[in-house]
Amino acid sequence: MIPPAFEYAAAESAGHALDLLADYGEDAKLLAGGHSLLPMMKLRLAAPSALVDIGRVGELAGIRSDGDDLVIGAATCHADVAGSALVRSDAPLLAYSAAQVGDPQIRHRGTIGGSLAHADPAADLPMALVALGGSVEIMGPGGSRVVAADDLFTGFFETSLQPGELLSAVRVPSRPGVPWGYQKFVRRANDWAIVGVAAVAGRVALANMGPTPVRARAVEQALAAGAGPAEAAARAAEGAEPGEDIHADRPYRRHLARVLTRRALEQAQAGPAA
Ligand SMILES: Cc1cc2nc3c(=O)[nH]c(=O)nc-3n(C[C@H](O)[C@H](O)[C@H](O)COP(=O)(O)OP(=O)(O)OC[C@H]3O[C@@H](n4cnc5c(N)ncnc54)[C@H](O)[C@@H]3O)c2cc1C
């Protein structure tokens, strides 16, 4: 599988990446880890005229504390998020989520920003960001803005990122010791979720239960009203419109959402997971 021809430029800074995007125009795309974009180009599902490589832009990588938030550079790879002592202590659900992505090779190339911008509804990190109530920092020709996770994912593989913009960092609240649960139902070890559930501090998000990662708001309301895991989880599929594929039809996905939500809530109730 050979992708169509494209131009290539390596950005030296975030600002340089924005300039290159502006120079190349709307058909250009950012290249981070390449683990979603390059397969799509090889399958000819994407045919950007130019790739702007941000893989070597140091200012876009790294993890730090900023007040009540943890800030993760968009070009930080999944393995670094999973292995970070800071993330493991302050946002353990995020570290665990990053550790569930693919296999070690993918986790050492794929980036958190790439995963969020790609917006696969079956992916781990978009669901985790929604559950955590995080946000993303976006740089563009008109300046910078912050978008909450709930507003980032707008459709199937679609986000509120505009052409010429760059997702520069991810913010999640620092909450050491907060109870959380994470369940991912897969056919093979390194697969995307057939259905996934992330639960933390009363927020519950689902993967692959609609065109975007979705909040299980009925579950959240039940929890807020004092329901236990089983009672709250029974409402996990309310309002969700999952798709159907070779792995699962709609009723089975709804069943999985209820079962996995109960497990995730019980996991959170039982205390810190491994
Ligand atoms: C075999 C395999 C198994 C996988 N399994 C899983 C899994 O279990 N769970 C899971 O969640 N994911 C999985 N993935 C996907 C993996 O996490 C990807 O690395 C990730 O989705 C994309 O990150 P990337 O850095 O490789 O992005 P790229 O492929 O480089 O880019 C993806 C898209 O995001 C855009 N983009 C990249 N960075 C930015 C940025 N900073 N700002 C704006 N736009 C940007 C690109 O232009 C492109 O459109 C798997 C991938 C493979 C190949």
State the sign of the Cα–Cα–Cα–Cα dihedral 84, 89, 95, 96: positive
| Predicted local distance difference test score (pLDDT) of residue 274 | 46
Each residue of 89-138: pLDDT tens digit?
Answer: 999 999 999 999 999 999 999 999 999 999 999 999 999 999 999 999 99
Instruction: Enter the tokens of residue 132.
Output: 């955590």
Instruction: State in Å: Cα 118 to ligand 1 middle.
Output: 6
For the Cβ of 192 lying below 6 angstroms from any atom of ligand 1, the answer is yes
Q: From the first residue on, what is the mean pLDDT of each consecutive set of 10 residues in the chain (274 residues)?
A: 91 98 96 96 94 97 97 98 98 98 96 98 98 98 96 97 97 96 93 97 97 98 97 97 95 98 96 58
| Predicted local distance difference test score (pLDDT) of residue 8 | 97
DSSP state of 59: G
Q: Which residues pair with 59 in a beta bridge?
A: none
33-47 b/e with 16+ CB inside 10 Å = b? bbbbbbebbeeeebe
Long-range contacts of residues 18-26, Cβ cutoff 8 Å, at least 24 apart: 18/139, 18/140, 18/141, 18/164, 18/166, 20/50, 20/52, 21/52, 21/163, 21/164, 21/166, 22/141, 22/164, 24/49, 24/50, 24/52, 25/49, 26/163, 26/164
Please state, in angstroms and as integers, the Cα–Cα distance from residue 61 to each residue in 57, 113, 271, following that order: 7, 10, 31
Are the C-beta atoms of residues 182 and 93 closer than 8 Å to each other? yes
Based on its alpha-carbon atoms, the radius of gyration of the chain, rounded to whole angstroms, reads 18
- Ligand 1 atom closest to the Cα of residue 191 is 8
| Predicted local distance difference test score (pLDDT) of residue 189 | 84
| Predicted local distance difference test score (pLDDT) of residue 1 | 78
For the Cβ of 261 lying below 6 angstroms from any atom of ligand 1, the answer is no
Q: Please enumerate in sequence order all residues whose Cβ is within 8 A of that of 270, keeping only pairs 6 or more positions apart, or say none.
A: none
Instruction: State in Å: Cα 270 to ligand 1 middle.
Output: 32
For the Cβ of 114 lying below 6 angstroms from any atom of ligand 1, the answer is yes
Q: What is the residue type of 74? A: A
Instruction: State in Å: Cα 56 to ligand 1 middle.
Output: 16
Strands 135-140 vs 7-10: parallel, antiparallel or unpaired: unpaired
| Predicted local distance difference test score (pLDDT) of residue 34 | 96
| Predicted local distance difference test score (pLDDT) of residue 272 | 59
Q: Which helix (H) or strand (E) holds 159?
A: strand 158-159
Q: Please enumerate in sequence order all residues whose Cβ is within 8 A of that of 188, keeping only pairs 6 or more positions apart, or say none.
A: none
| Predicted local distance difference test score (pLDDT) of residue 241 | 93
For the entire predicted model, the pTM comes to 0.97
Instruction: State in Å: Cα 180 to ligand 1 middle.
Output: 25
- Ligand 1 atom closest to the Cα of residue 126 is 11
Cα angle: 172, vertex 174, 177; to 5 degrees: 125
134: closest CA among 106, 80, 175?
A: 175
Instruction: State in Å: Cα 248 to ligand 1 middle.
Output: 23
Ligand 1 pocket, mutate which of 6, 26, 35 (most atoms under 8 A from CB)? 35
